[in-house]
Amino acid sequence: MMKAAVVYGKNEIRIQSVPVPEISEGEVLVKVRASGICATDIKTLLGQGLPKNLPAILGHEVAGSIERIGPGVRGLSVGARVAVYPIAVCGECFYCKQERHNLCLSEFGLGHGIDGGFAQFVRIPREIVKIGGVVEIPEKLSYEQAAVAEPLSCCLAAARAGKLGEGDTVLVVGAGPLGLLHLKTGNWLKAKVIMADLRRDRLEMAAGMGAAHCINAGEEDVVEEVRRFTGGLGADLVVAALGLPEIMAQYLPAVRNGGTFNIFGGPPAGRPVPVDFRWIHYAEVVLTGTFASTPEDFRLALELIGSGEVKVDDLISHRFALENMLEAVDLAQKQEIIKGVIMIPEEDG
Ligand SMILES: [Zn+2]
Ligand SMILES: [Zn+2]
């Protein structure tokens, strides 16, 4: 048996003893050591997109060690320290062939169709193993650092879609954990990063992490400030790292002509907002979204964290034992933590 944080319904999570998952051909059993708490988990718990089959175990930012290997798995060994790309894909559809795995027509994943990493052990299905989604991590990389690779990979995907490069200006709306990872991504690419948020403490943090400019959205006109900072042009890329459509729409004019506006935070269902097509046409703005990442982004994220090119230690503000999952969720809902990670000690299994 193993300990797990099991979701039974909206805001209903129980710490329970459940059977250790069985694995079969092509699969891997990972002993979880660090499991990041994501905004998606919190949204899910609040009832937005609860898994169809309950009870379920959430958690898709997983690092740990390989406990068991099913027949036919090559290139991985028991005891290896790994991080896990959380999306299981068919590998054969139109999107998989283009390496746009996150758009796979029969996609599912950890905490989203199958049990995830808020447990002592997690079964990694063959659909993840066969695309190289179980990635060995270097000795010097801690499990908690490795668990941040998944959210970082989503930011790398957004930068890639926005063709962000050296000298470009990117406006990141929202200085939460993902917003700050966008900042780090921008810094790595030598772009100038403008951060906008309502919270002074988060903006101070962003300034300390190298933001070129911070705008308090409660006190200043963000669009005007971005224009001023960019000599009247607007930002090359705007990343809306918050899930509120009405607020996102306010920032549309912050993007320059020909620039890209990325709806990065997952918006809730049934809340459309009006957009001026005339402006999109004449300004040749690319209005897009990115969600999750590809295995390629994920491996790059791990490399960048491993090499120290992107530092993530300063983002991990809270560590919780699995038993304290409820407290973690509560604090995350109140936005009192930046990045929270569930840590499971080695001897616990
Ligand atoms: Zn996530
Ligand atoms: Zn596919």
For residues 332 and 189, give the distance between their C-alpha atoms in angstroms, rounded to a whole number: 29
CA–centroid distance, 247 to ligand 1, in Å, is 21
pLDDT of residue 317: 95
Q: 153-289 in CATH: which number?
A: 3.40.50.720
Domain(s) labelled CATH 3.90.180.10 in the chain stretch across: 2-148+312-348
Structure-block tokens of residue 321: 């034992």
pLDDT of residue 348: 55
pLDDT of residue 232: 98
At residue 288, φ and ψ (nearest 5 deg) are -145, 180
Pairing of strands 339-343, 316-321: parallel
Question: Which ligand gives the minimal distance to the CA of 44?
Answer: 1
For residues 224 and 240, give the distance between their C-alpha atoms in angstroms, rounded to a whole number: 17
Residues with CB under 5 A from ligand 1 (ion): 38, 40
Question: Which ligand gives the minimal distance to the CA of 181?
Answer: 1
For residues 33 and 31, give the distance between their C-alpha atoms in angstroms, rounded to a whole number: 6
What is the DSSP secondary structure assignment for residue 113, as one 8-state letter?
E
CA–centroid distance, 92 to ligand 2, in Å, is 5
In three-state secondary structure terms, 20 is coil
pLDDT of residue 149: 98
Question: Which ligand gives the minimal distance to the CA of 41?
Answer: 1
Structurally, at CATH architecture level, domain 2-148+312-348 sits in Alpha-Beta Complex (3.90)
At residue 256, φ and ψ (nearest 5 deg) are -80, 165
Beta bridge partners of 35: 62, 342
Domain(s) labelled CATH 3.40.50.720 in the chain stretch across: 153-289
For residues 302 and 5, give the distance between their C-alpha atoms in angstroms, rounded to a whole number: 26
Q: Which residues of the chain have pLDDT under 50?
A: 349
Question: Which ligand gives the minimal distance to the CA of 91?
Answer: 2
Whether residue 10 contacts residue 47, with contact meaning beta carbons closer than 8 Å, is answered with yes
At residue 164, φ and ψ (nearest 5 deg) are -70, 130
pLDDT of residue 48: 81
CA–centroid distance, 156 to ligand 2, in Å, is 21
